Amino acid sequence: MHFAENTAAKVVKSLMDRDHELFIFSNSLTGTLSGDITWLDADTGHLTICADSRGRDISHYSRDGRLSFDIEVKDDDGGAEIFNFERVSAITIKRDHHLYEFQCQLPDSVLLNDNRDAIRIPFILGMQARVNCEVYEDELNIKGKLRNLSIGGCMIDIAIEDSAALRVDQVIPRVLIDFPNGTSISTKGLIRHIRPFGSSTHAAVGLQFIEKDHALDEHLFHVVAEAEREVAIRTGMNPEAGAGSPLFIAGKKEKQIMRREAQDKAKHANQPPMTRGVKELAKQLHIILMFLKNQNTFPEDTLYDCVDTLLLLVNKDRKQLLYALSLLRNEAEWVRHAIQVTATLADFMIGRDPHSPYIRESVAGALIHTMGKPLMLGPQLPTLKANMTPDQKTLLKGHTTTLLETLDTAGWQPSQLCRNVLENSNERLDGSGYPNGKTDQDLNDTARLIGLIKAINKLMHPRNGAAPRAPLDAYRWVSDHDEQYDKALLVEYIQIYGLYPIGCLAQFSRGFLAWIIDTDNKGMPTRVNVVKNLAFPNTAISTELEAHDFMQIGKFEGIANPDDYDIVLKE
């Protein structure tokens, strides 16, 4: 088909009228560059983007006169739609020290050929289909949304934490695509590429359809033709296309899913800076894993950016940080544990000596010390979420060795201080730890400290079917196992964080539950966020109170388990 106007430019113009962000990306780098559209000629498709390189080598982003970028558009309900433009013709001009201008020529149409010379249909302007990838039969399913479709494959958008189980060239036994009206496609897929998507809270996964039969090919031809017709109508490419495709008319099931999603979407716009900082750390750990696993490269700069960010947050307001760490409760377990343990380690070490030369490298090691776990995901260990069998628990103890071997293969050698944390964070004083069964004579103060912090953190969170312990119970358990942990460090830990740490759920005598935001020098709560009145369990509340107002909710009685009351810490 030939269209007189530049429909790609027309789509971009419509996006510019909405709340949007533009991210320039490179398949070889973890970080994106934020850009702004400063000029668009909707008739010719001439587009100008300005971006700050932030000291990065711009040649990694603009190669062979081509530029790739995502435009992420925010929905009114807090969701996002991502539009992808790859290898757009561009001239790069340096305007200032770090400021660059990219003069781009958009393609005439949003319909482009893929690598197999088939028409690729972008799912844009509200077009959507849901995707379910059965990674391991009856074990692991990953849900996502369709971003483009051709006869030969598709690109899907998944949560970035779900990308931990995927790698390039992996065969997906079953890819199920469900359209809003109930039409579906089931096929086998091969992962061709994975990269961070948009603002990097998502991952883009390119799939090639494999082992197709004639019936599936015919079905794909029909669906792609219908999607092409829908794009033509929504973009105005073909005003005479008639009615839209029935594929995209939501049936009863789709409407129910959409209502449920609208209710569940978190509102991120009002996140305080400390919360955004902690969430950014989690996102970057997922991206480091993605590149280490799929490109056999270790993005050292990204790791140390995370280290410096975390140290900045500790020094800025340690109590706000301790509260923000609790918001990681719903993150992937390996990420939650790594960031919470690392932040506590940094806070502990800075409190002792803010100028210690050991802090930065120890923090670097702590941030990635659990990354070997997702590197081990496979048929024998399909997920880290479910309760594990004894054999899987034994297998997982090899995560330290797996990480060190993977780093070595990628050509990255950690410093001696960093390696100390990577090798020894799971060792115990009595030799009962792993991977090498070291004893107290082999473990320095940092290794002993992180071992203690890890033990307390594990005990205070649900793990393999075991309920979380209250802080006092966790401390008592560690004290009872003083052959494994340094008791002097435990005493020091309790003196710093108290019996009622920030971020725990407090229970009050008049039936109120509240998150602890701040404590006094004796470790008693002085500011809380009241979230539930047990007399009215179905009523959601959120009220901050200072200590002098606690009489409204009664006497402080102790720490409660949020899971017992179906309470989630709100962002």
Please tell me whether residues 124 and 247 are part of one structural domain: yes
Contact (Cβ atoms closer than 8 angstroms) between residue 506 and residue 500: yes
- pLDDT score, position 117: 61
Residues 365 and 248 in one domain: no
Distance CA 306, CA 285 (A): 8
Last residue of a domain, one of 497, 519, 539: 497
- Would 1 be classed as within a structural domain? no
In this structure, are 136 and 238 located in the same domain?
yes
Residues pairing with 530 in the sheet: 514, 543
User: Strand pairing partners for 378?
Assistant: 381
- Tokens in use for 333? 């377990």
- β-pairing, 153-159 with 202-210? antiparallel
Query: DSSP strand E in 95-170: where?
Result: 99-105, 112-113, 119-122, 130-136, 140-149, 153-159
DSSP class per residue in 213-232? -HHHHHHHHHHHHHHHHHHH
Q: What CA–CA distances, in Å, run from 105 to 44, 408, 459?
A: 8, 42, 56
- Asked if residue 435 has a cis previous peptide bond (ω within 30° of 0), the answer is yes
Helix 445-459 vs helix 333-352: crossing angle, to nearest 10: 130
Vertex 127 angle, CA 131 and 197, to 5°? 60
Amino acid 308 reads: D
Structure tokens at 367: 């941030």
Give one DSSP letter per residue of 339-351, joined into a string.
Answer: HHHHHHHHHHHHH
Helix (H) / strand (E) containing 543: strand 543-546
Q: Residue 472: inside a domain, yes or no?
A: yes
Residue 119's pLDDT is 86
Output the pLDDT for position 264.
Answer: 56
In angstroms, the first-to-last Cα distance of the chain is 48
The answer to whether residues 218 and 361 belong to one domain is no
- Over residues 236-275, the pLDDT tens digits come to 876 666 677 889 888 777 777 766 666 555 444 456 789 8
Q: Which of 69, 89, 108 is at the close of a domain?
A: 108
353 with 473, same domain? yes
Q: Clarify whether residues 124 and 11 are in a common domain.
A: no
How far apart (Å, rounded) are the C-alpha atoms in residues 385 and 391? 16
For every residue of 459-508, which 3-state class applies, written as one string? Answer: HCCCECCECCCCHHHHHHHHHHCCCCCCHHHHHHHHHHHCCCCCCCEEEE
Give the CA distances from residue 468 to residues 94, 481, 485, 521, in Å, rounded to whole numbers and listed in that order.
Answer: 55, 18, 20, 25
Report the CATH number at residue 380.
1.10.3210.10
536: CB partners within 8 A, 6+ apart: none
CB 198 within 8 A of CB 81: no
138 pairs with which residues across the strands?
A: none
**Residue 342 falls inside a structural domain:** yes
Range of the domain at 522: 505-565
* Same structural domain, 403 and 472: yes
CATH number at residue 15: 2.30.110
What is the number of structural domains in the chain?
4
Q: Is 421 exposed, middle or buried (0-12, 13-18, 19+ CB in 10 A)?
A: buried
DSSP characters over 275-326? HHHHHHHHHHHHHHHHHHHHSS---HHHHHHHHHHHHHHHHH-HHHHHHHHG
Do 336 and 434 lie in one domain? The reply is yes
Q: What is the pLDDT along the chain (571 residues), one digit of tens a residue?
A: 444 578 899 999 988 988 899 999 998 888 899 999 999 998 899 999 999 998 889 999 998 899 999 999 877 655 678 899 999 999 999 998 889 999 999 998 888 776 666 788 999 888 999 999 999 877 789 999 999 999 999 999 999 999 999 999 999 999 999 999 999 999 999 999 999 998 878 999 999 999 999 999 999 999 999 999 898 888 887 666 667 788 988 877 777 776 666 655 544 445 678 988 999 999 999 999 999 999 999 999 999 999 999 999 999 999 999 999 998 988 899 999 999 999 999 999 999 999 999 999 999 999 999 999 999 999 899 988 767 888 999 999 999 999 999 999 999 999 999 999 999 999 999 999 999 999 999 999 999 999 999 999 999 998 877 889 999 999 999 999 999 999 999 999 999 999 999 999 999 999 999 999 999 988 999 999 999 999 998 888 999 999 999 999 999 999 999 989 888 766 5
93 and 76 together in one domain: yes
- Residue 114: inside a domain: no
Residue that has been written with the tokens 């992420």 in this structure: 72
Phi, psi angle pair for 171, to nearest 5°:
-85, 130
Would you call 411 helix, strand, or coil by DSSP? coil
In a domain, 32, yes or no: yes
Phi/psi at 478 (nearest 5 deg)? -65, -40
- The answer to whether the beta carbons of residues 207 and 156 sit under 8 Å apart is yes
Query: What's the pLDDT at 75?
Result: 72
Any domain includes 520: yes
**Token pair belonging to 381:** 């260990």
Domain boundary among 497, 522, 557: 497
**570 belongs to a structural domain:** no
pLDDT for 571: 57
CATH code of the domain containing 246: 2.40.10.220
Same structural domain, 173 and 37: no
Regarding whether 393 and 522 lie in a shared domain, the answer is no
Of 501, 513, 504, nearest to 545 (Cα)?
513
Residues 321 and 193 grouped into a single domain:
no
Contact assessment for residue 421 and residue 450, using Cβ atoms and an 8 Å cutoff: yes
Asked, for residue 519, whether it belongs to a domain, the answer is yes
Q: Given this model, what pLDDT does residue 2 score?
A: 44
